Amino acid sequence: MSNPGMRRAAIGLTALAVTAFGAVTTTPDQADAGPKPVAVKLLALNDFHGNLEPPSGSSGSIAGQPAGGAEHLATQLAELRRHAKKQNTITVAAGDLIGASPLLSAAFHDEPTIEALSLAGLDYASVGNHEFDEGADELLRIQNGGCHPVDGCVDGTPYEGAGFQYLSANAFKTATGQPLLAPYAIHKVQGVKVGFIGMTLEGTPRIVSQQGVAGLTFADEAQTANRYARELRRQGVETIVVLLHEGGTQDATGGINDCKGISGPIVDIANRMDPSIDVVVSGHTHQAYNCDIAGKLVTSASSFGRLVTDIDLSIDRRTGDVISAKAENVVVTRDLPKDPAQTALINRYKTVLGPVAGREVGQTTEEIKKTQETLFGTTLGESPLGNVIADAQLAATDDEQGAVAAFMNPGGVRADVDAGPVTYEEAFTVQPFGNNLVTLDLTGAQLYCMLEQQFVTGRTLYPSSTVRYVVDPAGTTGTVADACTGTRVVRGSLTLGGVAVTADATYRVTVNNFLSGGGDGFTVLTGGTNAVTGMIDLDAFVAYLTAESPVSAPALDRIRTTAEVPTA
């Protein structure tokens, strides 16, 4: 592969113990009296997840418009740069550029995505949790280049590394206490210094496999940002931007440039950040918003390259302070011309990938969505596609391992399935992680505890068709330390194959290896016994689509509330 060339500025590699300076402020009147301010444009994206081609289904549009695709994204970025001085434009990202990617990128360990974003002019990116999917060593290879240690140079050409700098301020090597990657960068624009601090969410170890974060420690986001903000100011940097892979959610009525009822971790983090931090480019929640939180501009550009956040900063030339900051989320519409360099890249990898991507593996009678229903309040319940996947995992292990139930984690269902023929590539996009199925013994008490942990973690597992249980919205939620004390799940309501589960009986249950390792906070599963590792989850899904074709969306009746099924 070709390397578009590194556009690296001064990269901070170590932290200094320094004292925070007093903030320097500049009024607009003072700025008018002096030299003309420097106009800096930031173009931001997040959660691209290897979507080189426009995503399908409901994920392929935003704000009522079909959107996304690297060919259109590159053109949109170029057009936005043309509206400003190119040398005054910095392109940034807030993590999860790779991982959970469609086949076209994932088959080549996401090298195509890194090459595409480098060609598109990306300068700096924070790491996200999915950058750790294949571990720290693989992330370093993605940054620095070199062929994959097992698969080699899959496309037959050397991999030269990223043409942009990944930043990772709060992921430390446990053995040395040093950051895994550069924690920050300093970029000069017309003599003015702009500092960028990159971070992932502190909770990354809870949502990534243990192999992915082995040897790493993750620190608090706000504390880390404040630490490096002090160091940047020590170096004369007064304009500070945090690229943070953590986010929030606004009310459903909010548009892509609104900030209605913003909630989630980003609110607390921004409130705890030092006032010297001017802008927070966020991500992770796949939401779009444009907010002012604690005097900071806080943005997010949804996901999959469907939006670009266009941020305009006016910076005092003398003090380096931000005079004003504004942002707009711009839709990457598909009527934009296709960038020819991106088209060539996509076609090259499609040729190498060959016919396997287009092989039909089954049919559906209708679109089957990954969207979760609302169980009660803000608690989400079943998903049509999630239930299909749970059914597929049970079908792959019932006769083989004696499983009587299967449960699927919601974060592992990545895309909708369109009506009609389903190709291998489409199935891969739904299940891209390559997790193994694990069938293990759980007691009835452990099963109830697992279901109670759903309400502590905020993640509802998708159950197979053999599972039925009732949830009490008025029940109590357990604690992180002891979720089993919760009373959300009505005792006696859990049945497997129509038979009530009893606390001391043992049941064979299938999950994926991410869950069996305690992923997403389902720690009770680590206590399962007689575990047997089975096939890859994608293979089970493909086999089910083939065997049960045509597949329809199942009814969402496996989890019900006491309002639907009154207790005796």
The confidence score (pLDDT) of residue 9 equals: 40
Mean local confidence (pLDDT), 128-133: 96
Question: In the structure encoding, which two tokens stand for residue 101, read together?
Answer: 């990617």
Region of 530 on the Ramachandran plot (φ > 0 left; ψ -120 to 50 alpha; else beta): left
- Is 322's pLDDT higher than 80? yes
Mean local confidence (pLDDT), 336-353: 97
Instruction: Give the pLDDT band of residue 29 (cuts 50, 70, 90).
Output: low
The confidence score (pLDDT) of residue 11 equals: 45
Mean local confidence (pLDDT), 349-360: 93
Mean local confidence (pLDDT), 530-535: 92
Q: How do residues 57-103 score in pLDDT, each as one tens digit?
A: 889 999 999 999 999 999 999 999 998 877 899 999 999 999 999 99
Do 59 and 100 contact (CB within 8 A), yes or no? no
Which residues, at least 6 apart from 532, have a Cβ–Cβ distance to it below 8 Å?
Answer: 401, 438, 439, 440
CA gap 342, 441 in Å, rounded: 49
Q: How do residues 474-508 score in pLDDT, each as one tens digit?
A: 999 999 889 999 999 999 999 999 999 999 999 99
CA gap 442, 508 in Å, rounded: 6
> Residue ranges of the alpha helices (H) in 292-407?
340-353, 384-395, 398-401
Handedness of CA 104, 108, 109, 111 (dihedral sign): negative
Mean local confidence (pLDDT), 234-260: 97
Mean local confidence (pLDDT), 403-408: 98
Do 541 and 430 contact (CB within 8 A), yes or no? yes
Residue whose token pair is 């993640």? 459
Q: How do residues 156-176 score in pLDDT, each as one tens digit?
A: 889 999 999 999 999 999 999
pTM to 2 decimals?
Answer: 0.87
Largest CA distance in the chain: 80
The confidence score (pLDDT) of residue 154 equals: 85
DSSP summary character for residue 551: B
Q: In 3-state terms, the chain is what percent helix, strand and coil (to 5)? A: 30, 25, 45
Q: What percent of the chain has pLDDT over 90?
A: 88
> Residue ranges of the alpha helices (H) in 174-264?
204-207, 221-234
Mean local confidence (pLDDT), 380-399: 97
Do 456 and 420 contact (CB within 8 A), yes or no? no
Do 44 and 92 contact (CB within 8 A), yes or no? yes
Instruction: Give the pLDDT band of residue 209 (cuts 50, 70, 90).
Output: confident
Mean local confidence (pLDDT), 259-280: 98
Please name which of 249, 180, 258, 165 lies closest in space to residue 214, comparing C-alpha atoms: 180
Mean local confidence (pLDDT), 273-288: 98
The confidence score (pLDDT) of residue 33 equals: 59
Mean local confidence (pLDDT), 103-125: 97
b/e code 409-421 from CB counts within 10 Å (16+ = b)? bbebbbbbbbbee
Q: Is 218 helix (H, G, I), strand (E, B) or coil?
A: strand
Q: How many CB atoms lie within 10 A of CB 29?
A: 7
- Is 4's pLDDT higher than 50? no
Question: In the structure encoding, which two tokens stand for residue 532, read together?
Answer: 């047997």
User: Across the strands, what pairs with 507?
Assistant: 442
Q: What is the mean pLDDT of the chain?
A: 93
Instruction: Give the pLDDT band of residue 24 (cuts 50, 70, 90).
Output: very low
Instruction: Give the pLDDT band of residue 28 (cuts 50, 70, 90).
Output: low
Mean local confidence (pLDDT), 167-187: 98
Q: Is 396 helix (H, G, I), strand (E, B) or coil?
A: coil
Please name which of 405, 404, 400, 373 lies closest in space to residue 390, comparing C-alpha atoms: 405
